[in-house]
Chains A and B, each alone.
Chain A
Amino acid sequence: MSKSLNILLIEDDAIEVMKFYRVLKKLEFNHQIIEATNGEEALDILNKKEIVPDIIILDLNMPKLNGIEFLNILKTDDALKFIPAIMLTTSNNHKDVMECYKIGIAGYILKPLKYEEYVDRIGKLLTYWSINEIISQ
């Protein structure tokens, strides 16, 4: 049986957020989405511990705290470092990818140009995670 996931989505582009919701609806997923528009907001949400996300999906290019800075903070926090974090970003810069894998990510997915490719990738990403065993507090 596939789980319903609690997803923390850290994304500052309003259309990207709309896109994410719309794809979930189209694919008839029933995951719960917690939104944050940047890394600082996300850290606030995580530290409040009202809902603990099963996975975190974030972009590299975010205002205030960029993806790599956020990842570093996440991985040094004992309570948060085991939550799988997945990059959903436009950059396929080798340096960025290396850096993320070095700090420790659970996935690195490129935002494609075409909408239908995006639908396919998100579908695969979330299907994969919903068949995984995940830590819930």
Chain B
Amino acid sequence: MNKNKHREELLKSLENQNRELNEYAHVVSHDLKAPLRNIDTLINWVLEENKDVMSESCLNLLNQVLLNVEKMDLLIKGILAYSTIDKLESEERLIDFNQIIDEITREIHIPKNIKISIIDELPKIHGNTWRFKQLMQNLIENSIHYNDKNHGQIDIGCKENENDFEFYIKDNGIGIAEKYHDKIFKIFTKLESNNQNSGVGLSIVKKIVEYYKGSIWLESKENIGTTFYFTLPKNYATA
């Protein structure tokens, strides 16, 4: 009897701690945005007022500042998104994944040499539209970003199993070496520095998939391409 009570208390304490950490991440990221915005504004004003008398080198340095500010902003956005996933008071309804993909392809920038195709008609699943959109968008954006081929191809499909839907996103990008397959889902891990990615995208994808009690994995060959697979149980509330 005592053991159960002890376990219950431990669980409650963990839940509280988790919630506090999430709120902390949310508050910190939110408060970091204001000075960042101010820095971008002030540098722009310096440029506005002085660019005619500035040397090439000086202009370059200030533009580097702006790039770094943008990078930090992406990072903060990523942390905010990550810490919000399980906090969301979810309005849940039947979400049509075909519509989600359509929205994403209309909204994000897709380079002219990359084609996105839906191979199998995607299902309608009960859940939260923001989470599902983040999930698909992050995977698609990664596929776009890490593609080096003249004709980029991203295929999206889904297989219906007895208890779940198994999605795949297949690209012909640069691929990921096997030794990194676990690492890439860790928050802040990037396999390339110097790009504008925040390194949070895949960890958000994993967190969303796990929120719905699904699983995610990948197959990949360097230089050939990568396929991400993830499952969403049919009845996650009871899974």
User: Which A residues form the contact surface with B (CB < 8 A)?
Assistant: 13, 15, 19, 22, 90-91, 94-95, 111-116, 118
Residue of A nearest to B89 (CB): A95
Q: Give the chain B neighbours of A115 by CB distance below 8 A.
A: 40-41, 44-45
A95 to chain B, nearest CB (A): 7
For the complex, count residues of B whose C-beta is within 8 A of A: 17
Residue of B nearest to A23 (CB): B41
- Cβ contacts B27-49/A at 8 Å (1 or 0 each): 00010011011101110110000
Q: Give the chain B neighbours of A114 by CB distance below 8 A.
A: 40, 70
A90 to chain B, nearest CB (A): 5
Q: Give the chain A neighbours of B30 by CB distance below 8 A.
A: 90-91
Query: Are A13 and B44 also in contact (CB < 8 A) when A95-B89, A113-B70 are?
Result: no
Measured CA separation A27–B42 after assembly (Å): 18
Q: Are B33 and A90 touching (Cβ within 8 A)? A: yes
Q: Give the chain B neighbours of A116 by CB distance below 8 A.
A: 44
Q: Are B34 and A13 touching (Cβ within 8 A)? A: yes
Measured CA separation A129–B20 after assembly (Å): 41
Q: Are A15 and B42 touching (Cβ within 8 A)? A: yes
Q: Are B88 and A94 touching (Cβ within 8 A)? A: yes
24 contacting pairs across A/B (C-beta < 8 A): A13-B34, A13-B38, A15-B38, A15-B41, A15-B42, A19-B41, A22-B45, A90-B30, A90-B34, A90-B37, A94-B88, A94-B130, A111-B37, A112-B37, A113-B33, A113-B36, A113-B40, A113-B69, A113-B73, A114-B40, A115-B40, A115-B41, A115-B44, A118-B41
A48 to chain B, nearest CB (A): 30
Measured CA separation A52–B89 after assembly (Å): 38
Secondary structure at the B interface, as helix, strand, loop or mixed, is: helix
Residue of A nearest to B72 (CB): A113
Measured CA separation A113–B37 after assembly (Å): 5
Q: Give the chain B neighbours of A95 by CB distance below 8 A.
A: 89
Measured CA separation A109–B101 after assembly (Å): 26
Q: Give the chain A neighbours of B38 by CB distance below 8 A.
A: 13, 15
Q: Give the chain A neighbours of B33 by CB distance below 8 A.
A: 90, 113
Q: Give the chain A neighbours of B89 by CB distance below 8 A.
A: 95
6 smallest beta-carbon distances between A and B, as pairs: A115-B44, A113-B73, A115-B41, A15-B38, A90-B33, A115-B40
Q: Give the chain B neighbours of A113 by CB distance below 8 A.
A: 33, 36-37, 40, 69-70, 73
Residue of B nearest to A118 (CB): B41
Q: Give the chain B neighbours of A19 by CB distance below 8 A.
A: 41
A20 to chain B, nearest CB (A): 11
- Cβ contacts B61-102/A at 8 Å (1 or 0 each): 000000001100100000000000000110000000000000
- Cβ contacts B124-147/A at 8 Å (1 or 0 each): 000000100000000000000000
Measured CA separation A114–B33 after assembly (Å): 11
Q: Give the chain A neighbours of B70 by CB distance below 8 A.
A: 113-114
- Cβ contacts B143-168/A at 8 Å (1 or 0 each): 00000000000000000000000000
